[in-house]
């Protein structure tokens, strides 16, 4: 073992190795899987209501399309340059993500799903020369089984694994895999990567680091942590230790219990009628109940809000929010909906001229608790046994036939929701989860 390798092994406390694997332009790659004509064509995916660009292929980036660009501003560019534009298809993306993570778990049981397109894997049990081979095998398997291209970054800490992933993406010669547990690569790359590329360094913190004379990642690694902690709080100091190979951010193999939950949506058009607003809030309360039941949690209060848009200049502005208390914690949709509608009734004002044109509404709750362990009400106790059976049947139907197949009437029928439901005018079929939307092969 060389002196450099021994020094690095001392830093990382015994040769720990984490891999960060992410899908390249994940949303766009999912769209390409089911349409071979999209290969090497600029592609972007838009946010809810087809608002902003949230995923771009390299070809789209080369045209100058930036993350978060409003679609109405780049529509002309997209039409002129032949950019293929899609609405978000979160059902498809979520299912593809689950398939990819199943492949990861075939290689190692210790997997932390960081986001829909990123996962950390613990590769400590593998010797170093086998790690790169394993990473390449995982990439090839994911590409063959799902069609999604990935890159792999390996490092002794999460921060270094994230940095390695960035290097793997931007240096074609590495063929999609970078291993910073290897001493030579560690020393080579840290002095060549600008500190602004580091995970956790944003627009506010970068000028502070540059004022300290920090230009590269290696500069940050080698500086005294005390002034960095003073400028960037404990987050900055933690970053330095992570760059030195001291793990400060462990793998979260068991997701932390949810503390709060929010269901909020911008309307596809402006809402002026109370009946439409109530229908939207009831639908949000229905979705809230689904989320809480999935994790066995309950809430004894909800906050209902709705507001106009700051972009509607020259029109009346209004923003309201109110909390509604329930007699005890519940995740029963039929208890949450009346509470949410009570919030609307409490805050609604009759329209004047010109009317308030509401653009968004939501239902939010915090301080969630396990329903089975929550305290029962002395007065106004809810019938949890009956509600549990009814909601269980509701969830089974929606799981089998698709979300929204069975909903309370207050949440509205599909054809009644067009004025306020999220707009997905360019969404592709949900190929992997809806029987009536399966891809069709022609001989």
Residues 150 and 226 in one domain: yes
Is the pTM value of this prediction over 0.75?
yes
Q: Please name the residue that has the structure tokens 């929204």.
A: 404
Structural domains in the chain (count): 3
Strand partners, 20: 120, 153
Q: What is the DSSP string of 206-248?
A: HHHHHHTT--BHHHHHHS-HHHHHHHHHHHHHHHHHHHTT---
Examine the fold and report which residue of 189, 216, 244 is the final residue of a domain before the chain moves on: 244
Residues 368 and 401 in one domain: yes
| pLDDT tops 90 at residue 399 | no
Residues 238 and 305 in one domain: no
Is residue 222 a part of any domain in this protein? yes
Residues 223 and 268 in one domain: no
Query: Which pLDDT tens digit goes with each residue over 120-145?
Result: 999 998 887 789 999 999 999 999 99
| pLDDT tops 60 at residue 289 | yes
Is residue 300 a part of any domain in this protein? yes
Is residue 428 a part of any domain in this protein? no
Residues 128 and 273 in one domain: no
Give me the domain span that covers residue 390. Answer: 261-411
| pLDDT tops 60 at residue 11 | no
Q: Rounded to 5 degrees, what are φ and ψ at 203?
A: -65, -35
Is residue 197 a part of any domain in this protein? yes
CA-to-CA separations, 2 to 7, 8, 9, 74, 272, in angstroms, rounded: 9, 10, 10, 54, 72
Residues 218 and 142 in one domain: yes
CATH code, domain with 141:
3.30.70.270
Residues 321 and 389 in one domain: yes
Largest CA distance in the chain: 80
Residues 386 and 298 in one domain: yes
Is residue 255 a part of any domain in this protein? no
Is residue 283 a part of any domain in this protein? yes
* Nearest Cα residue to 187 out of 58, 333, 4, 431: 4
| Residue 303 DSSP class | E
Angle between helices 90-107 and 128-146 (to 10 degrees): 140
Is residue 417 a part of any domain in this protein? no
Residues 52 and 168 in one domain: no
CATH code, domain with 47:
3.40.1170.60
| pLDDT tops 80 at residue 10 | no
Query: Which pLDDT tens digit goes with each residue over 79-121?
Result: 999 999 999 999 999 999 999 999 999 999 999 999 999 999 9
Confidence band of 218 (pLDDT split at 50, 70, 90): very high
Residues 18 and 30 in one domain: no
Distance CA 407, CA 395 (A): 10
Strands 297-308 and 358-366: antiparallel
Q: What is the DSSP string of 359-412?
A: EEEEEEEES-EEGGGSPPPSSS---HHHHHHHHHHHHHHHHHH-TTSS--GGG-
Determine what percent of the chain falls in helix, strand and coil, rounding each to the nearest 5: 45, 20, 35
Return the pLDDT at 14.
58
Return the pLDDT at 130.
86
CA-to-CA separations, 423 to 88, 208, 328, 386, 432, in angstroms, rounded: 10, 41, 36, 36, 21
The secondary element (H helix, E strand) that includes residue 151 is strand 150-155
Query: Which pLDDT tens digit goes with each residue over 244-281?
Result: 998 888 888 777 778 899 999 888 889 999 999 999 99
CATH code, domain with 378:
3.30.1490.100
Residues 101 and 87 in one domain: no
Let me know how many helices (H) and strands (E) the chain has, helices first.
14, 13
Q: Tell me how far apart the terminal alpha carbons of the chain are, to the nearest angstrom.
A: 59
Is residue 253 a part of any domain in this protein? no
Burial (CB < 10 A; 0-12, 13-18, 19+), residue 67, is: exposed
Residues 407 and 286 in one domain: yes
| Residue 66 DSSP class | P
| Residue 433 DSSP class | T
């Amino acid at each position: 073992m060389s002196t450099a390798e021994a020094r690095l092994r001392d830093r990382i406390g015994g040769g720990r190795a984490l891999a960060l694997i992410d899908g390249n332009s994940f949303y766009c790659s999912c769209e390409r899987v089911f349409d071979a004509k999209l290969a090497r064509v600029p592609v972007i995916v838009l946010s809810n209501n087809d608002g902003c660009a949230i995923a771009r292929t390299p070809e789209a980036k080369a045209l100058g399309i930036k993350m978060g660009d409003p679609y109405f501003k780049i529509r002309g560019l997209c039409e002129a340059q032949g950019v293929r534009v899609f609405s978000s298809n979160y059902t498809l993306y979520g299912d593809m993500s689950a398939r990819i993570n199943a492949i990861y778990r075939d290689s190692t049981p210790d997997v932390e799903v960081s986001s829909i397109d990123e996962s950390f894997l613990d590769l400590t049990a593998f010797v170093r020369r086998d790690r790169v081979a394993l990473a390449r095998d995982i990439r090839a398997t994911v590409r063959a089984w799902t069609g999604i291209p990935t890159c792999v970054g390996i490092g002794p800490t999460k921060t270094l694994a994230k940095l390695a992933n960035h290097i793997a993406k931007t240096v074609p010669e590495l063929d999609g895999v970078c291993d910073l547990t290897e001493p030579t690569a560690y020393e080579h790359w840290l002095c060549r990567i600008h500190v602004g590329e580091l995970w956790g360094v944003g627009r506010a913190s970068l000028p502070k680091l540059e004022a300290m004379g920090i230009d590269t990642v290696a500069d940050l690694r080698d500086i005294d942590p005390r002034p960095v902690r003073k400028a960037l709080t404990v987050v900055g100091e933690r970053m330095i230790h992570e760059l030195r190979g001291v793990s400060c951010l462990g793998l979260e193999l068991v997701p932390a219990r949810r503390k709060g939950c929010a269901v909020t949506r911008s309307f596809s058009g402006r809402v002026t009628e109370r009946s439409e607003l109530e229908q939207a809030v009831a639908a949000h309360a229905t979705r809230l109940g689904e989320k809480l039941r999935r994790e066995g949690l309950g809430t004894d209060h909800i906050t209902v809000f709705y507001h106009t848009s700051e972009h509607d200049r020259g029109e009346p502005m209004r923003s309201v929010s109110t909390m509604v208390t329930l007699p005890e914690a519940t995740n029963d949709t039929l208890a949450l909906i009346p509470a949410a509608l009570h919030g609307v009734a409490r805050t609604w004002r009759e329209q004047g001229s010109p009317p308030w044109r509401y653009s968004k509404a939501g239902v939010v709750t915090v301080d969630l608790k396990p329903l089975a362990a929550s305290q029962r009400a002395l007065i106004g106790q809810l019938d949890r046994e009956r509600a549990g059976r009814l909601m269980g049947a509701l969830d089974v139907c929606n799981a089998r036939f698709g979300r929204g197949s069975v909903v309370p009437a207050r949440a509205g029928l599909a054809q009644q929701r067009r004025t306020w439901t999220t707009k997905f005018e360019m969404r592709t079929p949900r190929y992997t989860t809806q029987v009536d939307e399966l891809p069709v092969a022609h001989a």
